[in-house]
Chains A and B, each alone.
Chain A
């Protein structure tokens, strides 16, 4: 079945540091890829998405490129802020396995803490 693997956390950075959170996936066909962010005590918010190979999703200074050859969708930001502290989830959406809808498969999440 489909699966998503994220880098182990937690990740601790100083403000203005460069951020990379690795995400790799296993899936049949051509899934769509997403990054979601969860702030403390809240639900998930869509951060960015990419629906085909070589697409780059971007939002709020975050970027991720859909790399089919390496089955990866790494999240990057050039200069993090304290307000970026949250849990980040990589996810893929695919058709198949007996369903006709875009079933989301999540990674385990990566906790990011940014210090002033």
Chain B
């Protein structure tokens, strides 16, 4: 079955440490996204990528970095510059960008819960 796999499910970060969250999809989707979810709030976009080797900042990119070296993979690094990293992180993908992009739903992984030690 096609889908989006996020790992690990739970992750702990020490002070001053960078951590990387994995996101892999086998849906052959062009576009991939990272969201942050905090209790009682909707999802906020961190970064998105419409094509391999290209990505754009979302609404809350500070303290995060990404890469898109393969179509299937879009890892997110939470750097030590992100002072409040405790949250639920969701990766998503969608079929295409461009003028038809707004009609395509995004498909989500099961998330990674990041906490501070």
Looking at A31, A100, A104, the one whose CB has the most chain B CB atoms below 10 A away is: A104
Q: Is the CB of B42 within 8 A of A102?
A: no
* Range of interface residues on A (Cβ < 8 Å): 20 to 34
With beta carbons under 8 angstroms apart, the residue of B99, B103, B106 that contacts A100 is B99
Within 8 Å of chain A (Cβ to Cβ): is B63? no
Inter-chain CA distance A99–B58, complex, in Å, is 11
Interface residues of B (CB under 8 A from A): 4, 6, 31, 33, 40-43, 45, 48, 50, 56, 90, 92, 94, 97-99, 101-111
6 A-B pairs, CB-CB below 8 angstroms?
A: A89-B43, A93-B103, A95-B102, A104-B43, A109-B41, A109-B42
Interface residues of A (CB under 8 A from B): 4, 31-32, 34, 36, 41-46, 49, 51, 89, 93-95, 99-104, 106-109
